[in-house]
Amino acid sequence: MFPFSFEWIWDMDHVVFMGGLWYALTILGIGMTYCIIKAAIDACRGNDEHHH
């Protein structure tokens, strides 16, 4: 549910509940985007200095 949905109400319950969901999803999304972009750049540069 987003603030532009018809059933959205600007109250603390909606902000905390849905805010928590977006917060978690944003962290996961940004984290994975960073990893994928960095991996693409590293692969293009042929950077192979790390071993795990």
Partner 1 sequence: MDSALIPRGVKRCPLWQFLLFISVVGAVLLWGVYAMLLCWIKGLNQTNMNDYYGFAIWIWADLAVIAVGGGAFFTGLLTYIFGKDELKSIINYAVLIGFICYSSALLILAYDIGQPLRGWFIFWHANVHSMLTEVAFCLSCYFGVLTIEFIPLILENRQIDRVPFFHHLSHNMHEIMAVFAATGVFLSFFHQGSLGGVAGVLFGRPFAFREGILIWPWTFFLFTWSAAACGPCFTILITKITETVTRKKLVKDSAIELLAKISGWMILTYIIAKTADTWYWATVTAPSMGQTLMDFYSNNPLYGIWILFAEIVICGFVPAAILITKKGRKNSVALWIAVILAVVGVCINRWVMVLQVMAVPVMSFDYWAMYFPSWQEIATTILPVAYGIILVGLAHRYLPVFPDESELNPIETLPAEEEETVEPPVDLEQELKPAEA
Q: CB of 21 within 8 A of CB of 27? A: no
Stretch 9-38 residues interacting with partner 1 (CB under 8 A): 13-14, 16-18, 20-21, 24-25, 27-28, 31-32, 34-36, 38
Q: Dihedral, CA atoms, 45, 48, 50, 52, nearest 10 degrees? A: 120
> Per the structure block, which two tokens stand in for 45?
């540069």
Reduced to 3 states (helix: H, G, I; strand: E, B; else coil), residue 45 is helix
# chain residues binding partner 1, by CB under 8 A: 29
**What does the binding site for partner 1 look like in residue numbers (CB under 8 A)?**
1, 5, 7, 13-14, 16-18, 20-21, 24-25, 27-28, 31-32, 34-36, 38-40, 42-43, 46-48, 50, 52
